[in-house]
Amino acid sequence: MENILDANNASLVLITRNEKPNRQVIDHFLLKEFACRDMSEIVIISYKLLHHLDIARRMYGKPMIITSGYRTVSYNKNIGGHPYSHHLTGNAVDLDIPEDYSLEKSLVTTCMTVFPYCRVMTDYIHVDCR
């Protein structure tokens, strides 16, 4: 299947995940990393998020592991996500916190510098382009 650019919102990319899950969407990030964990076929990623992730990855200079990307409404509900979560619009990702403290500090600093919104949780860092 072809990639579909949502004509109603140029900032969003809608791609069926069955197409090429290993397709690189930007340097260091594959399509499957953004896919909803419920195995749904549609993945929504905003260009704004990709832009910020790209800058953050270059600044950080190390692998960044996405633990949650796009979420469908039902999946978000199941995991107790906020009803208006930015994950629903492809505008947010959660990043794994590295075990190494200096890497953790570096990742947190990077995220706080680059993303319009960043919240450090116990196990992950939520970043979004609200």
Binding site residues, Zn ion, CB under 5 A: 92, 94, 126
When the beta carbons of 52 and 126 are compared against Zn ion, the nearer one is 126
When the beta carbons of 57 and 87 are compared against Zn ion, the nearer one is 87
Q: From CA 91, how far away is CA 68, in angstroms rounded? A: 11
Q: From CA 127, how far away is CA 103, in angstroms rounded? A: 17
Cα four-point dihedral sign 30, 36, 37, 41:
negative
**Residue nearest to Zn ion as judged by C-beta position:** 126
Q: Nearest distance from residue 55's CB to Zn ion, in Å?
A: 19
Q: Nearest distance from residue 43's CB to Zn ion, in Å?
A: 16
Q: Nearest distance from residue 17's CB to Zn ion, in Å?
A: 19
Max Cα–Cα distance, the chain, nearest Å: 43
End-to-end CA distance of the chain: 30
When the beta carbons of 57 and 126 are compared against Zn ion, the nearer one is 126
* Residue in the block written with tokens 């990077």: 110
When the beta carbons of 61 and 80 are compared against Zn ion, the nearer one is 80
Q: Nearest distance from residue 2's CB to Zn ion, in Å?
A: 29
- Number of Cβ within 10 Å of residue 107's Cβ equals 22
